[in-house]
Structure formats: structure tokens, C-alpha cells
Amino acid sequence: MASKRPFESPLGRQPIQNRTVTEHERPAPPMTNVSEALASMPSLLVRAIGTVRSPFHELAETPRQPRAAEGARGRIELVTGMGLDDAIADLAGWDYVWVIFWFHRAAPHFKAKVLPPRSERKRGVLSTRAPHRPNPIGLSVVRLISVEGHVLHVEDLDLVDGTPVLDVKPYVPWTDAIPSARTGWLEPPDGHKPGGERPADPRPTWRVSFAPRADAQLAWMHTHGLGFDLRARIADALALGPQPHAYRRIKRDARGLRIAVKEWYARFEIASDAAGEHLLVTSIESGRRPEEREGLHLELGLAFCEAPSETR
């Protein structure tokens, strides 16, 4: 079970477990142009979903990055009674997870410039991972060892004991890892650049092609002011496969398979050629009811001699 020991607010004024954490945890500084600008922005409410239990109880002994904490074990105790039982389903299949947390022991006011350990001069705080931020939110990637009930056992943990956890997300190498990315002021003086290719998508992708009718319709829509690249949106969504899927808005109806993009439907089918199976987009049509069609939604049907029909 998750520990009932409450987190402490940045000022240690009162417990914040199971209640909203806001910018108002910090004392109001004397009004300046900066603080007035911040005060004019809308407040966002977040809720801690768990607590970090780590071997580090003092800030000075806590590693500054997960790479410096290799081998350090701890756990994340998720709050019970929040409906997280189903939320952590399937999490155990990932090797690493992102932990989004609250710097609960950071200074009460953010610093525009900070001196990072690896820099010889001050840097803008948003170009660093320092805790003294406009919103004291942190991000760490840790190794997930196991999931036991509401407890996540983790390794390479660089967080101080008692850190409030705001969210947990899987680390997905094919989308999160960018080996060739520049490293800003951390780049070595000899100009050596990192290298390597991004990991491949672990899921196979489908080849998508467009029949002459669909090609002609898309070209006509583009020249008549559609305003976005419908072809690319269709191809990107169908590359994940033809299976009916609520999130990707793929559905099978009496006329076959269709995918919805905004207020448009693309009819498609599974086809084969010398290169193998692929998805063939056969036509484009309005996703509005006949009585609601106007502008391009009406003109597309007229241009391609389509009789109005109920497509929903």
C-alpha cells in the first residue's frame, strides 16, 4: 500500500497529499513586472498521484541526473483510492518510464539564470534542468524493475525521498530517443557531434496508396481551398493498419472501411500487388449529413457527380 505519510509543501506549511498542488504553494513575492506577468496567467491545477521513496534524504546527496544515479533503487508509491488500479495495467511491460514530479524542496521563487554543475557561467534556467523554475516541474527517466500493486519498483533513481509524483509515462525509444540531437552548451569544445540513427518503429507500417478517383478528389479539394494536407493525414493514420479503431476513427459500415479526418471520410480497402498487401484509398466524401453540407462539402459531390447519401 502507498504510504500515508503526507508530502511536504515547498515551505513545509501543510501536507499536500491527495489535494491540489498549485503555484499558490509559493509565497507571493513583491510585485514586479515579472511577477505581475506571471500573476496574469491562468492557474493550472495538478494532483499528486504518488510519492517517491528513495535512499536519498538530503538534497546535497541526491544525484543530479539518472545517469549519475545508476544502480540507485527506490520505489514510487501510488496513492490508493484514486482509481489507478486500471491506470497501471500493462505498465510492467516497459523497461523505462518517465517520471513527472514536483520539485517540492526548490526555492520558493524561480531564478531566471542559474549556474549548472557542468557550466562555468550562468545559463538561462529553461536551457537547464535546474529545479528553480517558473513551475517547479521535473522529468526523470528511470528503469522500471517491477510493479507490485500500487508500488512501482525503480532503479537509477535521482529523486529525493518524499518527492510528489504528478504522472508516469512509458519511455518509448523509437519516439523519445534522438541520438543525433545537438546538446547546446554541453557540446564538447572540439565540436564533436553525437551520432546514431533513431530507433525504428517497433510496429510494422502499412503501405498506403491512392486510387485515381481519390487522387483527383484530393487535388480538386486542394485547389479549392481545403486548407490542410488531407492526403498526408490519411496516409499517416492508415500506416498503423486498417483495423477499426475509435481513436484513429476507423470504422466498418455497410459500404466497407472508412477513416474519418476532421469532417471528411476516406473510403479504403485492403489490396494486393507485386509488392504485397497495402491499403488503397478509393474515394473521399463529406462526413456531414446531407442536409448539413455546404461549401466544399457540397461542391465535392457535385464536382464528382455523387448523389447525396447518408454516410454516418
139: Cα within 13 Å, side-chain hemisphere: 8
Please list, in sequence order, all residues whose beta carbon lies within 8 angstroms of the beta carbon of residue 252, skipping any fewer than 6 positions away: 244, 258
Task: Give me the CATH topology for the region 208-303.
Answer: YaeB-like fold (3.30.2310)
149: Cα within 13 Å, side-chain hemisphere: 12
Amino acid identity for residue 228 in this structure: F
Q: Model-level pTM?
A: 0.69
- Nine-digit cell string for 87: 491506470
Domains 20-171 and 208-303 share a fold: no
Task: Select from 215, 210, 228, 229 the least CA-distant residue to 304.
Answer: 215
- Count Cβ neighbours within 10 Å for each residue of 14-32 and write b for 16 or more, e otherwise: eebbeeebeeebbeeeeee
Residue pair 194/187 in contact (Cβ under 8 Å)? The answer is no
Q: How far from 196 is each of 178, 186, 191, CA to CA, in Å?
A: 8, 18, 16
- So where are the chain's domains? 20-171, 208-303
Residue-level pLDDT at 55: 93
Task: Tell me the C-alpha distance between 213 and 193, whole Å.
Answer: 47
Amino acid identity for residue 149 in this structure: G
Question: What is the three-class DSSP state of 217?
Answer: helix
Task: Select from 219, 180, 226, 220 the least CA-distant residue to 199.
Answer: 180
Residue-level pLDDT at 165: 97
Task: Tell me the C-alpha distance between 251 and 62, whole Å.
Answer: 51
Task: Select from 239, 97, 101, 100 the least CA-distant residue to 172.
Answer: 97
Distance of CA 247 to the CA centre of its chain: 15
Residue pair 76/103 in contact (Cβ under 8 Å)? The answer is no
Query: pLDDT tens per residue, the chain (312 residues)?
Result: 444 444 443 333 333 444 444 444 445 455 456 667 767 888 888 899 999 999 999 888 888 888 888 899 999 999 999 989 999 999 999 999 999 999 999 887 888 898 887 888 999 999 988 888 888 999 999 999 999 999 999 999 999 999 999 999 999 998 898 888 888 888 777 666 667 777 777 777 899 999 999 999 999 999 999 999 999 999 999 998 999 888 889 999 999 999 999 999 999 999 999 989 999 999 999 999 999 999 999 999 999 976 555 555
- For the chain, the farthest-separated pair of C-alpha atoms sits apart, in whole angstroms, at 73
CATH number of 20-171: 2.40.30.70
Amino acid identity for residue 238 in this structure: L
Q: How far from 116 is each of 49, 124, 131, CA to CA, in Å?
A: 29, 10, 11
Question: What is the three-class DSSP state of 143?
Answer: strand
Residue-level pLDDT at 66: 82
